[in-house]
Amino acid sequence: MAKPLLEFTDRGIYCEQGRFYIDPWKPVDDAVITHAHADHAYWGHKNYLAHHLSREVMLYRLGDINLQTIDYGETVVKNGVHISLYPAGHVIGSAQIRIEYKGQVWVVSGDYKTEDDGISTPFEPVKCHHFISECTFGMPVYTWKPQAQLFNDINNWWRVNRENGIATIIVGYSLGKAQRILQNLDLDIGKVYTHGVIENTNEALRRNGVLLNPTERITQASVKEEVRKGIILAPPSAVGTPWMRKFGPYSFGYCSGWMALRGAKRRRAADRGFIMSDHADWDGLVSAIDATGCECVYLTHGYTASFTRYLNEIGFNAREVHTLYGGEEEDATITEKEEKEETAELTDRKEMV
């Protein structure tokens, strides 16, 4: 029996033949990165390989790193091991990593969603022998409504707020949800204003050639009453801060997949909770795994125990594995650099005009 091409170690997912890691959480010489969220793209590696649309965001978040980027379908060979990237549909630049050596094919999906969000390259199933999958929302209760319906609700909420003279603040993670929201808002209602952390990410993506809808960064020179006429995109860490309170009276909406089950707890006193996730729902997970035709599936984070049992019951060969992935996007953790920038902004004592 051939030795597994990938193994799970205390540093990350390792390919001994190719001498590289995928999304390692401890410093290594050679790292292949699925996407730029901080639980997958750590600082401290000597060399990085990622999709080209992750380039500017990774440089913004991680600083001056030695980063090689490639496109979907392009192949890099490391010590005889073929590495290629395929769309994961999670966020802009997210990729599944396909690894092939002597006929053995593994796919590391990272985080993914199967619905086309209108801004990320849509998820593409990749045939393989072994599939490494998340299962953040691997319970039947998690079933997302169609995106058109979701944004119809969001736009109607914004429109009513504006008609009633109430400011609208919508909260979503700075990489992923923020751009998804931005691209699907009805700009006939008004302008989109952004918190500095979100706008920094938008600017990085624009430097990478991504075409985003117009936004205006909120600064000390911004006119409060003009900002209140639009919609304000803010990161979760802004909730309850003086930065957010100065736009009152406002209606505040929180976007998270957890709203499907834990809305009252996760909403953080939001007026509206919108069920929105950049991870696959229950049906998306099952269909994505089935489409790979894999002989074995490894579940890395989320409802790993229960989802493993379910997959085995319906005929898959599923295994639960331990990694440090999960938490970045849905639990709204931000990078140290973003936190410092945000703290500086929130503690600025100058009042808006």
Q: What is the pTM of this model?
A: 0.91
What domains does the chain contain, in order, with CATH numbers?
7-141+279-322 (3.60.15.10), 147-276+339-346 (3.40.50)
Q: Rounded to the nearest 5°, which phi and psi values hold at 309?
A: -60, -45
Q: Tell which residue, 61, 128, 118, has the closest CA to residue 96.
A: 128
Which three-class secondary structure string do you get for 235-250? Answer: CHHHCCCHHHHCCCCE
- Give CA–CA dist 323/12, Å, rounded: 7
Given this model, what pLDDT does residue 351 score? 35
- Give CA–CA dist 127/178, Å, rounded: 31
**Collapsed DSSP state (helix, strand, coil) of residue 52:** helix
Cβ density class 201-217: b for 16+ within 10 Å, e for less: bbbbbeebebebeebee
Q: Tell which residue, 295, 317, 268, 336, has the closest CA to residue 127.
A: 295
Q: Tell which residue, 113, 77, 255, 125, has the closest CA to residue 177.
A: 255
- Give CA–CA dist 90/180, Å, rounded: 10
Given this model, what pLDDT does residue 179 score? 98
pLDDT tens, position by position, for the chain (353 residues)?
678 999 999 999 999 999 999 999 999 999 999 999 999 999 999 999 999 999 999 999 999 999 999 999 999 999 999 999 999 999 999 999 999 999 999 999 999 999 999 999 999 999 999 999 999 999 999 999 999 999 999 999 999 999 999 999 999 999 999 999 999 999 999 999 999 999 999 999 999 999 999 999 999 999 999 999 999 999 999 998 999 999 999 999 999 988 887 554 455 678 999 999 999 999 999 999 999 999 999 999 999 999 999 999 999 999 999 999 986 555 433 333 433 343 333 333 333 33
CB contact at 8 A, 88 and 54: no
Cβ density class 138-147: b for 16+ within 10 Å, e for less: bbeebebeee
